[in-house]
Structure formats: C-alpha cells, structure tokens
Chains A and B, each alone.
Chain A
C-alpha cells in the first residue's frame, strides 16, 4: 500500500491562511506524505467530498493535567477537531512534585480551577518528581497530543514547601527555581506559566503560591526562557488594568520570548478598553517583541426568566420582587408605580454588572405560539414590532407568558463588531477553552467550532482560511510545536475533517463520568466528521475509536531522552535529575 490513509476530494485548508483548494491527502507512518490528485492504493480511504480537510486544532489553554490520566482524549476535545492540547496554564501544574507535596497542588487545583477533589484523589497516579517524569508518565497513554507548561505555583511549592503561600523567596530559592525551570525546558516543557490573579486562592483560603512572588522573582524565572531561546510565558493577572499592559510589554522586551496574557474581550461594562488593549499589543509588536492577548469566541452569557432571574439582584426593588411569591411578583410587575420604580433604578448612573441594554437581551424561548415570531429577537426589536417601549415590552411579554419567557444576555464578548476586530487581530490568540477546569460550571470545548460556525459562517467576520490559521498554525508556531499545524508533506497527520455548512458547538450538558462518580459539563459538536491524530482516526461521526494515538510534544529546548551533556550548555536527563534534586535541597 502506498498510503496508510487517503483522504479523497476534500477542500484542503492548510492552516497557512492561503486559499483552500480541492485535493487528496495521503498519509503514511503518521505523517502527511503527499497532497494533490493521488492515485496510489491505501489501507483506508475516507471520502471528504463536501468537507473541509484542515490541520487538527491546537487548544492551548487547558487544565487537562489531571484529566488525561483517566480520560486520555480529554473529552470533548476530539469532538471539536482538537488534536493537540497544551496544559499547565495559570501557574498550575502537577510537576515538579516533592515527596508529600501533592496535597498543596490539589488544594490549588480544586479551588482555582474548580475540579472535584474526589476526582483528583481517585484519578491521579502520583509518583513523579521532575517535570520530565510527569511528561513520561503520559507517554503512550494519551489519545491526543499533549504538551505542557511548567507552573510557577508548583515550582514555588517544590522549593519553599508550605511557606510558598506565606512569603517571598530568598535569592537562593529563586536560583533553585531557575534551575527547575531550566530542567523542565530541557525535559520538554513548552514554557512557563504564572498566576497573579488576586481572586485565586487555595482550598484553605490562602493565596495561590505564585501570588507571593514579586516581579524580581518572576522575571528571574522568565530570564531562563530567554537564555534557552525556548518557550512561551503564559500569565493571568486578574481584572484587566492598564498597568498590566505595561507589565506584559516589559516581560516580552526583557526575555524576547512570546508572552500570552488573559484576556482581550469586549465587555459592556468597559466597552472601550479592548481598543486600549489592541493598541498596546500593536506597540509591542511594532518594536519587534511578542505579547499576544488571548481571547475567546464564546460570550459569557446568562439565561434567565422572570421566574428565576438573578441578573437584577443588584437593583434593590428588582431583587425584592424576585424573592416574592410569583402571584405577588406578577401583580407588582403589572403595577405602573412599581414599574416606574424599577425603571428608575435601572436608569441610575451607578456602574452595574448588568449592561441595561435591551438591544443586547435576546428572546430564546417563548411559551405561547403567537410569540414564536419573537424568537431570536432582541427585546428592543421585539418592542419595536409590538409598538412599545422596550422596558414595558420586556415585562408585558413575560407576564403574558406567565413568566416562562427565557432571555439571553451577554456581558463579555457581546458586541459582535468589537469581537470581530479582536478576533481578526494578528496579535490575538483564540482559545481559552479552560478544558479540564470549572468542570461543574461550564464547558467551552467548542471555542473552535464556534469560531467556524458563528463567526465565520453566520457572521462572516473572517474567511474560513483565516479562522483555520488561528486555530492551528498560528498557535503551533507561537508554542514552538514543530511539524504541527500545517498540511504539508512531512508534517504530522493531525487532521480535522468537517462540514463547513453545519460545524458548530452544542449547548453544554451534564454527565457523570469523572472518577469517584463525580459529574461535570460536557459539550458536543455538530459537523465534525473525523478527527485524526498522527495519522490514526480517533473520532468518527460521533464516536471515539479507543486508539491512543497521541504523543507527548516537547519544546525546543528538549535535550531528548538518554543524551548526555552536549557541550553547548544543554544537559541530558541525568543532568536534569541532578538539577531537580539540588533545587529541592536533597
């Protein structure tokens, strides 16, 4: 056989951003060997007529560090065309790990990333020390490719123990952490992540360890990446402030490494700040340094009816009404004097989380047949159709339907025009699935399928080729994933094959499939026909194959297994182990 796998007749969108074209793709030994009109025989042929053949997507903002041990596909990643994930974001990693230090990291994961403690205790097969050992523990047991950042929180716990959440580090301790960063890079880490979010605490109420670090400590660790010319720096700083933009810029200039920071999003409560963020990115890139903003394609939404709305709790009279028995609430909502009071509260100049824009509140479910015409309309449009003021129309529609009408409102990512500009920026990475985290509150595996369905097909904010580029080669390039993210002979045969007319993400749904019988939200996809990892079909028309085709991807500084000192300052595994023993003070 000439090919192990032949994909016939698809529209090849190769990840470069160049226009797509109709061609066959031949795969052998896990790699793409030929693209064109192919006539050779194949062990298996897939008919891709009418489908797009793209590089598999790279989900670079995940917290699958633990989940991959019990769920080797990191579900629902393959369902959305993801073939490679990057874990270890926001300072949180499971390595390096000193003896007896496991619970300190569990405390951080449980609270910051809202993972069930029972699942972590039952599902993680501890036993590694170094970051390299941890990556080795995943070798051969993953269904998708995985790479990892080494986390500042784990580094601090390794060197300072429990004092990591109490104090700053001494110069000697910073030096030992620097050694650990170097060892992790040589073992294949894709970079370093930290967490300076003042809302992030451990389970016991103490701040996560990286929050105790000053700039001198963190910059000293990042300098190692500059010295090694390898790796990205990923950060989360909490509520966006202008001074953060200066800090990201300084970090990029000092190290020469790509900095990735969270988040560039349009927020109705800060409707112009995203422009300031994009301008700051342009200045940094204009001077030849790299600081990428991270954005998401999925707005953060609330769905509510006047049976259960919490969206209005910040308005005193509204709040009180929502705790009254329904029959009293309905009387009050119909009363002109009460309406005047409610209207006045919403018109007050105080800053509120609810944006108070009726053109941004959509009707997503109605109870009465005659109101079907309003489905999908904004409240403002519905009011115009009824010849009413928006506020009165909102209340009247709800009252007509016995408060059953369901509304949708987004504060973040809600302005399509602003989000289109953000998504199109070459300085912005698309991602933020947070896969593996917040599992009982949200599931956003579908950021890529949402980009293709909502932003490309429905809103036309960019070409399919541009979108695929953002999901694949742009990310692979920034993270140094050599040989991934493009469809070219010699590149890994990581592929997403989908129907561009239907590709989209479903609403999250609840399931119980985590260790210790714990539950979580999952998210299915529409239109994804095949997901192929290293030339092997792992997902086909809604079903996972069970094939563990994934590889552990190592970064540019990886010295490779079994190599001794190479004379250029990079050491092999035995050297790394010695560094880590030294850093731990053993």
Chain B
C-alpha cells in the first residue's frame, strides 16, 4: 500500500490547449492543459487503440479522430457512444512547482 506522485510537467510548461506525451511505467500518457486545468490520460483510445496525439479536446471532452469516440477527461467515461469502453485517466495534482500524477495502491 502506498502513494506515488510522479512529476509529469512543470507549472507553466504547458500553455492552455497544449499537451505532451510522457512515459509512466513503460506506458505512454498524455498530459494536457485544458483552460488552466491539467489532465492525464492513456495515449491510446480504448476502442481500437488509435494513438490520441491528434485527438480533439473541447472543454473536458476528448474526441478520438479515428471513430469519433468521445470521452469525459474528468472521469474517462465514454460519452459517445454511451456505454463504450472508458478512456484510462489518471488523477493530477499540483505539488509546489510540479504537475504530478497521483497513483495510490
């Protein structure tokens, strides 16, 4: 049992609308600044594993350009189509000058 805070960006590093890919535990993860709030999510769409480099983000909705599956970045819930597989999202916290993914086990 434990908690880890894994730094993924420095505060101010990502402008609103920007995103970057990081490696966490051997998996590719995106960190995105959406209107000042940071989100972290797995790099692949859970539908057909398309990489989400070009996925469209509007507000907290992410749309995969492959088949237009849409996800809520706050929860990972698939909103279009309803009941689709969820996007893997990770909790993000600011700790001092760093944006961290918080992983608890």
**B1-55 at interface with A (beta carbon < 8 Å):** 1-2, 4, 6, 24-27, 29, 42, 44, 46-49
A325 contacts partner chain B, Cβ-Cβ < 8 Å = yes
| B76 CB to nearest A CB, Å | 9
The size class of the interface chain B forms with chain A is 20 to 34
**Chain A residues positioned under 8 Å from B60 (CB to CB):** none
**Chain B residues positioned under 8 Å from A239 (CB to CB):** 83
Q: Is the CB of A310 within 8 A of B88?
A: yes
Chain B proximity mask over A331-345: 1 for CB below 8 Å, otherwise 0: 010010110010000
Q: How far is the CA of A329 from the CA of B67 in the complex (A)?
A: 33
**Chain A residues positioned under 8 Å from B27 (CB to CB):** 308, 310, 322-323
Q: Is the CB of A326 within 8 A of B1?
A: no
Q: Is the CB of B49 within 8 A of A313?
A: no
Q: Is the CB of A324 within 8 A of B88?
A: no
Given A203-B65, A441-B48, A441-B49, A332 and B105 contact (CB-CB distance below 8 Å): yes
Chain B proximity mask over A479-498: 1 for CB below 8 Å, otherwise 0: 00000000000000000000
Q: Is the CB of B66 within 8 A of A111?
A: yes
| A436 CB to nearest B CB, Å | 16
Q: Is the CB of B105 within 8 A of A341?
A: yes
B92 contacts partner chain A, Cβ-Cβ < 8 Å = no
A201 contacts partner chain B, Cβ-Cβ < 8 Å = yes
| B54 CB to nearest A CB, Å | 12
**Chain B residues positioned under 8 Å from A112 (CB to CB):** 67
A283 contacts partner chain B, Cβ-Cβ < 8 Å = no
A sample of 25 cross-chain residue pairs with beta-carbon separation below 8 angstroms, ordered by A number, consists of A111-B66, A111-B67, A111-B68, A114-B66, A114-B67, A199-B84, A200-B67, A201-B68, A202-B68, A203-B68, A205-B63, A205-B68, A307-B26, A310-B46, A314-B86, A317-B105, A319-B90, A323-B27, A324-B25, A324-B105, A332-B2, A335-B1, A338-B1, A338-B105, A438-B48
**Chain B residues positioned under 8 Å from A324 (CB to CB):** 4, 6, 24-25, 103, 105
Q: Which residue of the partner chain, among A111, A313, A325, A337, contacts B1 with CB atoms under 8 Å?
A: A337
**Chain B residues positioned under 8 Å from A199 (CB to CB):** 47, 67, 69, 81, 84
Q: Is the CB of B26 within 8 A of A326?
A: yes
**Chain B residues positioned under 8 Å from A246 (CB to CB):** none
Given A111-B68, A317-B105, A308 and B1 contact (CB-CB distance below 8 Å): no
Chain B proximity mask over A425-457: 1 for CB below 8 Å, otherwise 0: 000000000000010010000000000000000
**A282-316 at interface with B (beta carbon < 8 Å):** 307-308, 310, 313-314
| A208 CB to nearest B CB, Å | 10
Q: Is the CB of B24 within 8 A of A323?
A: yes
**Chain A residues positioned under 8 Å from B24 (CB to CB):** 323-324
| B43 CB to nearest A CB, Å | 11
**Chain B residues positioned under 8 Å from A198 (CB to CB):** 81
Q: Is the CB of B26 within 8 A of A308?
A: yes
Q: In chain B, what residue has the closest Cβ to A332?
A: B105
Q: Is the CB of A114 within 8 A of B48?
A: yes
Q: Is the CB of B90 within 8 A of A323?
A: yes
**Chain B residues positioned under 8 Å from A512 (CB to CB):** none
**Chain B residues positioned under 8 Å from A338 (CB to CB):** 1, 105
**Chain A residues positioned under 8 Å from B48 (CB to CB):** 114, 438, 441
Q: Is the CB of A319 within 8 A of B88?
A: yes
Further 16 A-B residue pairs, CB within 8 A, beyond A111-B66, A313-B86: A114-B67, A198-B81, A199-B67, A199-B81, A308-B27, A310-B27, A314-B86, A319-B90, A320-B103, A321-B105, A323-B90, A324-B4, A324-B25, A326-B26, A335-B1, A341-B1
**Chain A residues positioned under 8 Å from B68 (CB to CB):** 111, 201-203, 205
A-B contact count (CB 8 A): 81
A564 contacts partner chain B, Cβ-Cβ < 8 Å = no
| A437 CB to nearest B CB, Å | 11
B97 contacts partner chain A, Cβ-Cβ < 8 Å = no
Q: In chain B, what residue has the closest Cβ to A239?
A: B83
Q: In chain B, what residue has the closest Cβ to A207?
A: B68
**Chain B residues positioned under 8 Å from A335 (CB to CB):** 1
Q: How far is the CA of A205 from the CA of B46 in the complex (A)?
A: 17
Q: Is the CB of A310 within 8 A of B105?
A: no
**Chain A residues positioned under 8 Å from B4 (CB to CB):** 324, 328
Q: In chain B, what residue has the closest Cβ to A206?
A: B68
Q: In chain B, what residue has the closest Cβ to A204?
A: B68
| B101 CB to nearest A CB, Å | 7
Given A112-B67, A201-B67, A308-B26, A323 and B84 contact (CB-CB distance below 8 Å): no
Q: How far is the CA of A439 from the CA of B31 in the complex (A)?
A: 29
Q: How far is the CA of A198 from the CA of B101 in the complex (A)?
A: 34
Q: How far is the CA of A338 from the CA of B25 in the complex (A)?
A: 18
**B68-105 at interface with A (beta carbon < 8 Å):** 68-69, 80-81, 83-86, 88, 90, 101, 103-105
| B40 CB to nearest A CB, Å | 9
Q: How far is the CA of A515 from the CA of B49 in the complex (A)?
A: 23
Q: In chain B, what residue has the closest Cβ to A318?
A: B105
Q: In chain B, what residue has the closest Cβ to A199?
A: B81
Q: How far is the CA of A337 from the CA of B29 in the complex (A)?
A: 27
**Chain B residues positioned under 8 Å from A328 (CB to CB):** 2, 4
**Chain B residues positioned under 8 Å from A322 (CB to CB):** 25, 27
| B53 CB to nearest A CB, Å | 14
Q: How far is the CA of A410 from the CA of B101 in the complex (A)?
A: 31
| Chain A to chain B: the 10 pairs with minimum beta-carbon distance, closest first | A201-B68, A320-B103, A323-B24, A205-B68, A313-B88, A323-B25, A199-B81, A324-B25, A441-B48, A337-B1
Q: Is the CB of B66 within 8 A of A329?
A: no
Q: In chain A, what residue has the closest Cβ to B76?
A: A313
**Chain A residues positioned under 8 Å from B49 (CB to CB):** 441
Q: How far is the CA of A441 from the CA of B49 in the complex (A)?
A: 8
Chain B proximity mask over A154-195: 1 for CB below 8 Å, otherwise 0: 000000000000000000000000000000000000000000
**Chain A residues positioned under 8 Å from B44 (CB to CB):** 310
| A439 CB to nearest B CB, Å | 11
